[in-house]
Structure 1
């Protein structure tokens, strides 16, 4: 098949590589978000998908909006049979969806209809799901509501961060997406409408959403910290300044008032509504990330001080 692949971040790379390496399909172009400023110098950088396409001499299309007339004209000229999508990050209007004969097929990182939306992996971790996965489906106008071609499942491990889980899903999902496109080409695969029961939504997590609330139980603090690692990153305030926090570890042998900090020789504990949690990495404003014990020694925490 002639494919135009749509995607932007690193999580899309395993799928793009799978199509590039496939002997059955020809990636004639990729669609990705425009170059964006990055780093302290705010230098424009290509998206990971664009950079990989450049390496392989594949045409890169970067419309600001996927309904732009110039983009639509070029997409029609490319005559794609199908457009695979992984984390593209842009809305696809119906006039764009109608161009390829076999439509746009999305790899979504949940077992649909659970966790439709922008942050399915973060939602699975925060919710304490035991099992999650990835689904391939035909894109329709309604958000993540199209008929499903296939599913893979993945166990959520006790200490998984969203980054850990997404890395595994991006690899297994790439093979699912490739086999889905193979099956569509063969005519051996048919999409099945999603059930109306079990629909849940996972909205994008903002920086404010990632603030840890130590007045909640330890299990909730732990899940949120892992859910927002690496992006947007957990945080709280200490002495009136923002403190970035890595994942925490619940402990069963210490109880402290919510937010109160206890410094021990090999760990730094913070109270919650239940038992304490042990801090992992910590990054104060203007400082490098470091182990919590090193941070605590540097700031000389006084008895009764709190993180909020």
Structure 2
């Protein structure tokens, strides 16, 4: 089966590697986003998918727009039986979707129709889901609206962050993709229409989404911290200075006090910083002051003054 693979970030790497190693598939070309300037030095960096493709001696094409005349010409030159799309980052359009005989298959990091859109990992954690998963889908012109082929559930455990969940779903997605292609080859792959009445949308997250609203419950803030780690990071303010929150626990889900939400109730040299929320109390266990490295809350308390009664979130 001649495959053109479209993908860009780390999430797509296990899927590409799986296809390159499989006897079933012949990856004849890889399309990925152009190299971008990144980091403090603004050095030009290749997407992770490009680096893997070059390791396998696969031709790489990086168009600004895949639906351009040049992009369509390249696809016709490669003549794929099927296009696989994993976190590519561009809308394909009907010309691309209709080009291969077997169409285009997408690996999406949610149990569709829940969490269609750009940030299913972040939103599943922020919303406090206990289960998520991966869907392989026959693509159509809508936003993650195509027929479901296969799905696999993945449990979300309390220790999960976007980082850990990303790694689990990337591996699960790669395995599910190969199973999907085996069934397509055998002519046994199901096509299950999505129920749009059950659809939810996972909007892209921004840095502004990470600001903690201490009026929310301890559970909601705990989910936000997990759902913003490692990017873009949950944050609050102490004495008008930014304070990123990287790890936390629900200290007491029902505790109340005379303190208003956002107020430090207690500092504990062994546990961390206990903060009153709109419902219950949150224990901050890892944080990052402005222009400093991440540190445990106990280390923070050794070097910074923070006492009960201090109000967080005021700028």
TM-score category, normalised to shorter length = over 0.9
CA distance in 2, matches of 1:88, 1:289: 31
Determine if the alignment matches structure 1 residue 70 to structure 2 residue 74: no
CA apart distance, 1:226 = 0.6
Partner in structure 2 of residue 17 of structure 1:
17
Single out whichever of 159-168 and 41-50 deviates more from structure 2: 159-168
CA distance in 1, matches of 2:82, 2:5: 9
CA apart distance, 1:102 = 1.0
Determine if the alignment matches structure 1 residue 295 to structure 2 residue 300: yes
CA distance in 2, matches of 1:115, 1:16: 23
Partner in structure 2 of residue 116 of structure 1:
116
Residue from 287, 290, 308 that aligns with 1:285 = 290
Q: Is the 8 A contact 2:267 2:307 kept in 1?
A: no
CA apart distance, 1:255 = 4.3
TM-score scaled by structure 1?
Answer: 0.96
TM-score scaled by structure 2?
Answer: 0.94
Q: Is the 8 A contact 2:150 2:190 kept in 1?
A: no
Partner in structure 2 of residue 189 of structure 1:
189
For 1:1-308, list aligned pairs within 5 A: 1-252=1-252, 255-256=256-257, 257=259, 258-261=261-264, 262-266=266-270, 267-308=272-313
Figure out how many residues of one structure are paired with residues of the other and give that number.
308
CA distance in 2, matches of 1:276, 1:196: 38
CA distance in 2, matches of 1:302, 1:200: 42
Single out whichever of 255-264 and 200-209 deviates more from structure 2: 255-264
CA distance in 2, matches of 1:41, 1:66: 29
**Cα deviation digits, residues 1-55 of structure 1 (max 9, x gap):** 1111111111111111110110111111111111111121110000110111111
CA apart distance, 1:169 = 1.2
Structure 2 unaligned spans of 5+:
none
CA distance in 2, matches of 1:107, 1:217: 34
CA apart distance, 1:302 = 4.0
Q: Is the 8 A contact 2:244 2:287 kept in 1?
A: yes
CA apart distance, 1:228 = 1.2
CA distance in 1, matches of 2:139, 2:301: 50
Single out whichever of 122-131 and 33-42 deviates more from structure 2: 122-131
User: Equivalent residue of 1:158, what SS?
Assistant: coil
User: Equivalent residue of 1:5, what SS?
Assistant: strand
**Cα deviation digits, residues 174-201 of structure 1 (max 9, x gap):** 1111111121122121312112331111
CA apart distance, 1:127 = 1.5
Q: Is the 8 A contact 2:125 2:161 kept in 1?
A: yes
Single out whichever of 289-298 and 106-115 deviates more from structure 2: 289-298
Single out whichever of 31-40 and 41-50 deviates more from structure 2: 31-40
User: Equivalent residue of 2:184, what SS?
Assistant: helix
Single out whichever of 142-151 and 224-233 deviates more from structure 2: 224-233
Aligned Cα root-mean-square deviation (Å): 1.4
CA apart distance, 1:299 = 2.0
